[in-house]
Structure 1
Amino acid sequence: MTRLALQDHARLSVAPMMDWTDRHCRAFHRVLSRQVLLYTEMVTSAALVRGGAKHLLGFDAAEHPVALQLGGSDPAELAEATAMGVAQGYAEVNLNVGCPSDRVQSGCFGAVLMKDPALVAHCVEAMIDATDGVPVTVKCRIGVDDQVPGDVLPDFLRRMGDAGVRRAIVHARMAWLQGLSPKENRDVPPLDHGLVHAMKDRFPDMHLSVNGGIASLDAALSHLRAVDGVMIGRAAYHDPAGILLRADSAIWGVEDSCGDPVAAALAMVPHIEGHLARGGRLAHVTRHMMGLFAGRPGARHWRRVLSERANRPGAGVEVLRDALDGVVSAAA
């Protein structure tokens, strides 16, 4: 992997997504791009500090650069969880101030914290004090409920900067905590990428990434003319090759990791064999690979074989190879 500063890797990142960006997903995305910054699923500080769930911190060194995202609102607890993440070897610790789920609201963390920026500032100060130079970042919304984004967002970012945060990721939508489901909160509130772009002029010394509704690598390149970084979530998951396969050359000017999706699938075989040898199931890995051939000949065959056979007891890499045979035949 080319040696870059972490903020350079952050020119493109894959968003933390619950139930999706586990270690197998990250291993797959790393095969597609050596440079993209990867994130864990959100892990609550309470689960780590009070729940003894240290297994949630597990990752493979091959995933680097990889960041840990934490959820919580207790400064001391977040500081302890941050220290645990740093000790585990994560390159960054990120605080979630954007998730709108009911479960997150009831725990007083996620997007609801946009209403209490002073508390968030205390949290990140405590987290920064618990690190040894490892960056602490924040992922937030442009506002929640009846807040005015043009007033709230610059004040929030100013407070984060005063607390020592040097990099922030902004999901360019409001979070409407009453009346919308978490899924609707990802689509219904209108996007305001322009507001996030304007924040770069207001805060030239802060590394700012924009997130939300960015569905192609070309769109990411366009945003990079205005901000420092782009974070992509669902599009990177559902069309990973379309987003990541040529990202290294397009964004960082280095050789791409894989020449094509078939090569990427074959490059996952050692990871799959290792997982199977430890007693895991094929589907634990291949469920993240369903979109690899999105929009390409053979995509339907690929999805059908994996969805029908990968979860069967004893399923091995031969299932992946059978799925690939259909793709290759369709493209011939």
Structure 2
Amino acid sequence: MANMIDQYINVKDESVYGTAVAANRSVDFNSEDFKGDYSNVIIASGLRAGEYAPNAKRVARNPKGATGSLEINGANQGVAFWFKHMLGNYTLGTTTSGVTTHTCKTGDTKGKSFTLQKNMVGSDGIAYTKTYQGVKVVGWEISNSVDEYMKIKLDLDGQKETLGAGAGPLASQAKNFGNSDNLKEFKFYEGVVNVGGSQVSVSEISIKGKKNLAAERYFLGTQLKKEPIQNGQDEITTEFKMEFEDLTQEQRVASALESGAQVSVSVTWTATEPEAGGGVSSITLTMPVVSLVDAPSSIDVGKLAEQSLTGNVLWPGSGQGDNMLTATIVTPDATAV
């Protein structure tokens, strides 16, 4: 008999948005709350004499896909898959010493969707399957703090939820974690933050992104929406927490000219253990232009003064770079699927 230890989530890229595929790659995850949305019930509003509430025969179900989040740890396996869906532009690089370079940049996510399958176990010891087709990443957060692993929280939007195992791609897929013995999750002491070309001592970071997709593309004739597509500019923000050292960051924020408040920011996690082929896994996030908007420092009696540093990531101007955010991922994964 199965129990809660036997639960898992699988994913797989779709060739066509909303056309489910057999999700056969398992994901290590911390938490999830992805679920179907059945709250938008259609109720006729016409008045009928003697009825003090809507008539039960004049109500229609109107499912609205699925929404929720999934949190994973940044690791040397599978992470390029997620950055591809988070940012949009993906390039597969070369392989050296057993590690492959994957480059992801902010771009269009049209045509990028995946099928997600949850395999849950009830208190009755029976396994139950939920399959979600047409899943896209609509927002995300990368975070890390002292004594923690790097975390990636993904805000998801799905076209449809299917409850229970079905035929073909809706059948319950077996778990497949690949070479799980080689999984290395990036730790806080493997991370380095640079602001304006200089390394800074940071105790906590948060980089948030929002794709601004049109996710409500419903039309007459079907209950299934069309693929969410770009409906505005991307929004990416940064926030760092640190000890107050000097006035450098506050002077940047207070600059009379915007150019004085703009800095380059990069964050790199480098694994302390090499891979089997001798190469070293890493994740580097490069933001050529971050406009610093706040750097408050405060005094707490009996403690070192603290400071937070927040900024908005901008599209680089001439000579400043070619993209607002580039993720360079070096891992043993030969592909990002």
For the pair shown, the structure with the greater C-alpha radius of gyration is 2
Higher relative contact order (CA 8 A, sep 6+): 2
Which structure dedicates a bigger proportion of its chain to helix? 1
Q: Which bracket does the TM-score occupy, shorter chain normalised?
A: under 0.3
TM-score with structure 2 setting the length:
0.22
TM-score with structure 1 setting the length:
0.22
